[in-house]
A and B are shown apart, each in its own frame.
Chain A
Amino acid sequence: MRKEMKNEMKQPSETAAAQGIDVDLDAYTHVAEEHPYQEDPSRLSASDKERIREVGVTLDDRSQRSGTFLQIDQSVVHRKTDQEGVEVMGTPEALEKHPELSEYWWKLVSPEADKFTAYSHSHPFQGYFIRALPGAKASQPVQSCLYLAKHGLAQNVHNLVIVEEGAELHIITGCAVAPVKEDGLHVGISEFYVKKGAKLTFTMIHSWAPKMAVRPRTGIIVEEGAVFMNNYICLKPVRTLQTYPTARCVGDGARVRFNSVLVASHGAHMDVGSRVLLEARASAEIISRSIATGGDIIARGYLSGQVADAKGHLECRGLILGDKGNILAIPELEGTVAGVDLSHEAAVGKIAEEEIEYFMARGLSRDDAVSVIVRGFLSVDIEGLPPELSAQIEHAIELSEQDMAP
């Protein structure tokens, strides 16, 4: 009891997160130089553009995007929307322009959750505000890139996405670091509102560096008849990544799907989960695919059925390639009333020799057979994903293939 009281009295700034290895906030720089605004983001250096392109954000030809947001360190370097009914800007600017947004601010993530949320709350921030107005249907994805250029910087990002009633929005967001920058911290608060009958497809590709620490904190509200599709891809090395986004389905007919694709190479520690609270007659699917090529992965999933007829399925599958690597799959289901329908399947193992030989019997070399099987394993079926986004994911998997060779 005494111990609990002591914990309660702790300031959130001291509270380590419940999951993930601890990260010392004092080890990072908190101030970055301003980067100038670019009317034409294609004027960035070729190497930066290449890194940014690897996470699905294209700065040269933006004709396939309905909007672009680019943040380098703590500066908004470019932001533009080409679609009527879609707003794209930095969150500080948005809060100033639309004071009513305070109703949405720090409502789905609590500043007191842990030391990272407390840090974000008490430090200067940037981040994207993307809103689709009622009924607006963006024909192309809005793209956003959060780029870390300064070595050792703690990048503080707070994003807000609102998809108003009946609107549809695809967001492709990439986080990357400059080629020679290895160390840094990324703290990202994200609050997403998917209103009645709206649809948000959110695809996030992370490409960090071997010494980076990454702590996204995400809350999502999905209203009646709304759909939220989340795709998260992290295939490149990172020292420590811990995230456990929570989606609350608060209206009947809401639908949520989380797809996660992770590859942990040597030295990487990834603790990644998805949590869905079915507070109405809604449905959810959580699909996770993990490959450990020497690193550690904790793949979490949590589904909570809180009303009758809530339906959810959770699938965690992991492959260990090579001699080292560790995957811990933790699927959790909780039903609090009769009539919920929740299920899960989890599997961790290596590629079955029989599968490799099957492809070899068709003329593939052993390496090619492994490659086909691994690519298949990582290619989660993503319902309703525009071909452009599918291609980005395929591209990310292709790029990581060389890192995955067992």
Chain B
Amino acid sequence: MLEVEELSIAVDGRQIIRDISFNVDIGETLVLFGPNGGGKSTLLMTIMGFPRYQVTNGRILFNGEDITRLPVDERSRRGLGILFQRPPVVRGVKMRDMVKACIGDKPNGSTVDHLAQRANMQDMLDREVNYGFSGGEVKRSELMQLIAQGPEFVLLDEPDSGVDLVNIQLVGDMINEILQRDKRRSRTHSGLIITHTGHILDYVEADRACVLLNGGIWCRGNPREILASIKSHGYEGCAVCEKK
């Protein structure tokens, strides 16, 4: 579904990622581990198409189409969605209008109030977008928007960061819904989750994992095994491991 081929990315003229390749199949969830500053967010923002992130080599294919040069909104319309780690505050615009914008003209049968109820955000619909939100509220808001939008492929940037124990289960449930993790055979939605701590894996089951370190991919395999290894040896352990 998503194919990243020999991708190199620069931000403000500085090379952040070099020649990485990976793919995510239909219905599959891939976890990308890595230390802070290792280029994980850069990769996600590039796949989504934000202009600040420049592809200097390689290409991105989505459902067989080369989307490397497509603008953000075109990628969104083709079925890509993103959970922002630190979304901007939009003063004056209400959450209700944001969710309405996400639903757009899609006949997915969801109303704003219904979605808010599921995200436990009924009281937040009349608040300004992301203004004064707690860490957990930001994630619930982002996930509510994604459910409204209904993308086939989601890019989740640190969905567990800054989320307290009360909220993490709800965040996990919402991600499972977006990724259709309750369906085994008929699952058509896929995702790429990036996580520094791996906490989210206690709530969301992923199919495969890899490690992004120093701008390259170092390890591929079972998410729980890789996480266990990172927990025992740290990311320094990945750097000296031969499984690159």
- A residues near B (Cβ < 8 Å) are 289, 317, 352, 354-355, 357-366, 368-369, 372-373, 375-380
Pick from B50, B73, B81, B88: contact of A355, CB under 8 Å? B88
B48, B93, B129 — which one has the most chain A CB atoms within 10 A of its CB?
B93
What CA separation (Å) do A380 and B94 show in the bound complex?
11
- Find the B residue at minimum CB distance from A366: B73
CB neighbours of A377 from chain B (8 A):
91-93
Which of B96-104, B174-182, B230-238 lines the interface with chain A? B96-104
B148-175 interface (Cβ within 8 A of A): 149
CB neighbours of A365 from chain B (8 A):
73
B48 and A361 within 8 A (CB): yes
Pick from A289, A357, A376, A379: contact of B72, CB under 8 Å? A357
- Find the A residue at minimum CB distance from B145: A362
- B residues near A (Cβ < 8 Å) are 48, 50-51, 71-73, 76-77, 81-82, 84, 87-88, 90-94, 97-98, 101-102, 104, 128-129, 145, 149
CB neighbours of A368 from chain B (8 A):
101
Minimum distance in angstroms from B181 CB to a CB of chain A: 23
CB neighbours of B81 from chain A (8 A):
361-362
Having A354-B88, A362-B81, one finds 11 other A-B pairs with CB under 8 Å, namely A289-B92, A317-B91, A357-B72, A358-B88, A360-B76, A361-B73, A361-B81, A362-B149, A364-B73, A364-B101, A380-B92
B73 and A358 within 8 A (CB): no
CB neighbours of B98 from chain A (8 A):
359, 362
Minimum distance in angstroms from A299 CB to a CB of chain B: 16
A379 and B92 within 8 A (CB): yes
Given known A-B contacts A355-B88, A358-B87, A358-B88, A363 and B77 have beta carbons under 8 A apart: yes
CB neighbours of B71 from chain A (8 A):
360
Given known A-B contacts A355-B90, A358-B84, A363 and B97 have beta carbons under 8 A apart: no
25 interchain pairs (CB within 8 A)? Answer: A352-B88, A354-B88, A355-B88, A355-B90, A358-B88, A358-B90, A359-B98, A360-B73, A361-B73, A361-B84, A362-B98, A363-B76, A363-B77, A363-B104, A364-B104, A366-B73, A368-B101, A372-B97, A372-B101, A375-B92, A376-B91, A376-B93, A377-B92, A377-B93, A379-B92
What CA separation (Å) do A375 and B92 show in the bound complex?
8
Minimum distance in angstroms from A364 CB to a CB of chain B: 6
Pick from B82, B84, B92: contact of A376, CB under 8 Å? B92
Interface of A is mostly: helix
What CA separation (Å) do A357 and B52 show in the bound complex?
11
A363 and B73 within 8 A (CB): yes
Minimum distance in angstroms from A185 CB to a CB of chain B: 34
Minimum distance in angstroms from B106 CB to a CB of chain A: 9
What CA separation (Å) do A366 and B72 show in the bound complex?
9
What CA separation (Å) do A37 and B187 show in the bound complex?
72
CB neighbours of B104 from chain A (8 A):
363-364
B101 and A359 within 8 A (CB): yes
Minimum distance in angstroms from B87 CB to a CB of chain A: 6
CB neighbours of A376 from chain B (8 A):
90-94, 97, 128-129
CB neighbours of B82 from chain A (8 A):
361
CB neighbours of A360 from chain B (8 A):
71-73, 76
Minimum distance in angstroms from A4 CB to a CB of chain B: 45
B149 and A363 within 8 A (CB): yes
A289, A359, A362, A380 — which one has the most chain B CB atoms within 10 A of its CB?
A362
CB neighbours of B48 from chain A (8 A):
361
What CA separation (Å) do A373 and B81 show in the bound complex?
20
Minimum distance in angstroms from B94 CB to a CB of chain A: 7
CB neighbours of B84 from chain A (8 A):
358, 361
- Find the A residue at minimum CB distance from B50: A357
Pick from B51, B76, B91, B92: contact of A362, CB under 8 Å? B76
CB neighbours of A366 from chain B (8 A):
73
CB neighbours of B128 from chain A (8 A):
376
Minimum distance in angstroms from B66 CB to a CB of chain A: 20
CB neighbours of A363 from chain B (8 A):
73, 76-77, 101-102, 104, 149
